[in-house]
Amino acid sequence: MTETAPRPTLEAVAARAGVSRATVSRVVNGADGVREPLVERVRQAVEELGYVPNQAARSLVTKRHDAVAVVIAEPETRVFSDPFFAQQLRGISKELTAHDNQLVLLLTEGRDDHARVGRYLAGGHVDGALVFSLHLDDPLPELIHRAGVPTVFGGRPGWSDGLLPHGCGPGRAGATPTPVYVDSDNRGGAREAVRHLAGLGRTRIAHITGALDQTSAADRLDGYRDVMVDADPRLVAEGDFTPGGGERAMRELLDRCPDLDAVFAANDLMAAGALRVLRQHGRRVPDDVAVVGFDDMLPVAEQTDPPLTTVRQDIETMGRLMARLLLRGLDRHATQEEGVGGTPSSVVLPTTLVRRATA
Amino acid sequence: MTETAPRPTLEAVAARAGVSRATVSRVVNGADGVREPLVERVRQAVEELGYVPNQAARSLVTKRHDAVAVVIAEPETRVFSDPFFAQQLRGISKELTAHDNQLVLLLTEGRDDHARVGRYLAGGHVDGALVFSLHLDDPLPELIHRAGVPTVFGGRPGWSDGLLPHGCGPGRAGATPTPVYVDSDNRGGAREAVRHLAGLGRTRIAHITGALDQTSAADRLDGYRDVMVDADPRLVAEGDFTPGGGERAMRELLDRCPDLDAVFAANDLMAAGALRVLRQHGRRVPDDVAVVGFDDMLPVAEQTDPPLTTVRQDIETMGRLMARLLLRGLDRHATQEEGVGGTPSSVVLPTTLVRRATA
DNA sequence: GTGAAAGCGCTAACAA
DNA sequence: TTGTTAGCGCTTTCAC
């Protein structure tokens, strides 16, 4: 299994190079003010001994970890099957590695996991956290808040309209924090989708919602209602952002309102499920029923039959932005220039309609 | 973004409870030998202060981290779209959390990432590593070896037949390590698949390989050849374990050998791709062409049309086993009982043929 | 420019 | 049973 020979320490390098620990530290950390020949000697000693700094020791004094946790409140099965997360993580990962930060992925399914994640964050393994796919009444924000870890949320948290859900923990933190988040203009995007369908002359426009305990789903529903002011409530069916959920919802809708002529699904995965059901029921798309999705997840939207018209949000950019916001906040923190660049605040990104063949 | 109030230390708790740091440490770590009333006082102080141990400080002295890295040598896009990884991670995750270990996921795409991962592992953030999806000539094993981190591989590493690829690093480690790995009986499973097809009376049996720089793909090809001793070499097309690769390979095969009557694909994803191409070309499955996959990835194998006959390997169990082997090894290490339970050694799991409709 | 020394927060001998 | 003490490996003043 590989043996664990004791790793060389700063001390060892210093001895070998014939200098003090302080000098080695300076060289290793790229501080200037060390004369060239010494630098060379130290470099060589480091090389020869295969020295790598012990991060625990370093963190103990610097209180930095150069690591950021990404917390996703979904079961593995979803995280690893919904391309949404892949894209978001890709964006985050790029930004973090560009700034030499490690990404630590934490998935939380159940209650036990929450406790574990809380301990991990509070244990000071990471400098900050990126949290997404929050659900209503999720204990996570409270936990994170108590852990005192700087955080940026992906998607507007459900409790942003006031206080944290369960009151503040002992000792930690002062005022109720204003959450910093990155989100798409879900409501606006939904409006655009539904208006597009209406512009096509459709009047019986149905909506398949996402999991309504997430703000993204609720916001898209609101957008739908903005346009369909007095819509038949039976035209709305609740989904859960999964293909299976989309199928179920579509069947339900077809059952309740056989005369529907359009469907706006809250994401592409559900739209794909809906398309399958429509085909099974002999409805032609877009002739009989027009369909619009949300996300523009390329591997999904381009592969459906026919290719999916959808609302595009730049997910990778959202990820990048989350990471950037967090790192900037950490920086600001470190350099004490509170308020110079201004406290980072939330960002809402615009969406665009991508026309393909389903509407 | 949340403020960072200084966290309370052991010292603070001790002061508040009116005991020594040692006692607090004992209580916090669940050591017995502390009298009940004191335990109570300490517990309360911990609670009141919201104390959480500083892991960096703890690791510095214990040299334990209760964290394990999972290293996957694939781009995010694949990791997050191939259910194989999801299942494996699920198994690993279950086993690790059962033993109170954190899972740290490290994805490595390119050369830069390798260096970063190497630094991370050598930096002593984790007690061990679980590595999979290794490719031939991957610098990872060498890096990990130099980092001196106990490791269990998922799938037999390509260099197991002798030494490490590039010679040993400076200072670290002694003898060439025998890699510990968990794998399926890829060759045996492939043989069974092909024999099954032969048993159906098929004679022009083609094979779509996986990425041949991975031992799993090479082993499955070997199994195919074991049965198809003097097969037409044109019956073998190279794929890459992705659906797109399966489609390409299938087209190639159809082009080269229009008379083929069966296909064994090295995984389900490629089999699904092959099925699509066969349908496009008007071949009926299994009447004209019988198809067998590998993996028995339920969300794939059961959803294909018709449902896929395939070689089942229990991926989640593989993951669990990898984690268990690693943890056991770490334990052994810690308790010095070298050799008592025997050094953990590799495991090869059996496969079974699952008959559905394609063969 | 370089080194000596203090101390980050914790655990683990060892004493009491 | 509890407290005292000595580091773990590193960074960082502060002298030289």
Q: Is the model more confident about A320 or about A159?
A: A320
B chain contacts of residue A120, beta-carbon cutoff 8 Å: 102
pLDDT grade, residue A173 (50/70/90)? very low
Picking from A102-106, B152-156, B251-255, which range would have the lowest pLDDT averaged per residue?
A: A102-106
- Whole-number Å distance, CA A20 to C1' D15? 15
> What element of type H or E holds B183?
strand B180-184
Residue-level pLDDT at A256? 97
B90-146 pLDDT, tens digit per residue, is 899 889 988 988 888 888 877 777 888 888 888 888 999 999 988 888 888 888 888
DSSP lists the bridge partners of residue A208 as A237, A265
Residue-level pLDDT at A229? 95
| Beta-carbon pairs below 8 A across chains A and B | 185
Residue-level pLDDT at B1? 57
Percent of chain B topping pLDDT 90 = 63
Return d(Cα B75, Cα B217) in angstroms, integer: 18
Q: Does the CB of B334 fall within 7 Å of any strand C atom?
A: no
B158-199 pLDDT, tens digit per residue, is 874 544 444 333 434 444 567 899 999 999 999 999 999 999
pLDDT at A122 over 80: yes
Angle at CA of residue A85, ends A80 and A88, nearest 5°: 150
Report the protein residue whose CA lies nearest the C1' of nucleotide D6.
B61
B chain contacts of residue A172, beta-carbon cutoff 8 Å: 5, 50
Print the SS3 string covering chain A.
Answer: CCCCCCCCCHHHHHHHHCCCHHHHHHHHCCCCCCCHHHHHHHHHHHHHHCCCCCHHHHHHHHCCCCEEEEEECCCHHHHCCCHHHHHHHHHHHHHHHHCCCEEEEEECCCHHHHHHHHHHHHCCCCCEEEEECCCCCCCHHHHHHHHCCCEEEECCCCCCCCCCCCCCCCCCCCCCCCCEEEEECHHHHHHHHHHHHHHCCCCCEEEEECCCCCHHHHHHHHHHHHHCCCCCHHHEEECCCCHHHHHHHHHHHHHHCCCCCEEEECCHHHHHHHHHHHHHCCCCCCCCCEEEEEECCHHHHCCCCCCCEEEECCHHHHHHHHHHHHHHHHHHHHHCCCCCCCCCCCEEECCEEECCCCC
Q: What is the DSSP letter of B66?
A: S
Return d(Cα B5, Cα B118) in angstroms, integer: 33
Q: List all nucleotides in chain C with at least one atom under 7 A from a protein Cβ.
A: 1-5, 7-13
User: Rounded to a whole number, what is the distance in Å from the CA of B116 to chain A's nearest CA?
Assistant: 8
Residue-level pLDDT at B300? 84
Residue-level pLDDT at B115? 81
- The count of other CB atoms within 10 Å of the CB of residue A340 is 8
Picking from A138-147, A161-170, B20-29, B114-123, which range would have the lowest pLDDT averaged per residue?
A: A161-170
B204-252 pLDDT, tens digit per residue, is 999 999 999 999 999 999 999 999 998 899 999 999 999 999 999 999 9
Q: Does the CB of B59 fall within 7 Å of any strand C atom?
A: no
User: Rounded to a whole number, what is the distance in Å from the CA of A101 to chain B's nearest CA?
Assistant: 9
pLDDT grade, residue A343 (50/70/90)? low
- Whole-number Å distance, CA B33 to C1' C15? 17
What is the torsional sign of CA A358, A213, A191, A263?
Answer: positive
- Mean pLDDT across A201-209: 97
- Indicate yes or no: CB of A54 within 8 angstroms of CB of B123: yes
> What element of type H or E holds B323?
helix B315-335
pLDDT grade, residue B335 (50/70/90)? low
User: Rounded to a whole number, what is the distance in Å from the CA of B196 to chain A's nearest CA?
Assistant: 31
pLDDT grade, residue B338 (50/70/90)? very low
A299 close contact with B: CB closer than 8 A: yes
Q: Does the CB of B53 fall within 7 Å of any strand C atom?
A: yes
Encoded tokens for A181: 């988040």
Angle at CA of residue A69, ends A68 and A72, nearest 5°: 145
- Indicate yes or no: CB of B53 within 8 angstroms of CB of A180: no
Percent of chain A topping pLDDT 90 = 62
B170 close contact with A: CB closer than 8 A: yes
pLDDT grade, residue A1 (50/70/90)? low
Per-window interface: A 122-141 vs B, CB < 8 A: 122-125, 128
B71 close contact with A: CB closer than 8 A: no
A144 close contact with B: CB closer than 8 A: yes
Per-window interface: B 256-275 vs A, CB < 8 A: none
- Mean pLDDT across A64-78: 87
B chain contacts of residue A145, beta-carbon cutoff 8 Å: 2
Q: Does the CB of B62 fall within 7 Å of any strand C atom?
A: yes
Q: Are B119 and A52 in contact (CB under 8 A)?
A: yes
Sheet holding B67-72, edge to edge: B102-107, B67-72, B128-132, B151-154, B180-184, B347-349
Residue-level pLDDT at B90? 87
- The count of other CB atoms within 10 Å of the CB of residue B11 is 11
Query: Measured between alpha carbons, how far is residue A343 from residues A99, A179, A330, B293 in Å?
Result: 20, 11, 11, 54
Query: Measured between alpha carbons, how far is residue B181 from residues B160, B168, B321, B344 in Å?
Result: 10, 20, 9, 10
Picking from A57-61, A114-118, A215-219, which range would have the lowest pLDDT averaged per residue?
A: A114-118
- Indicate yes or no: CB of A80 within 8 angstroms of CB of B89: yes
Q: Which stretch, A2-16, B174-188, B304-318, has highest mean pLDDT?
A: B304-318
Residue B172's SS3 state is coil
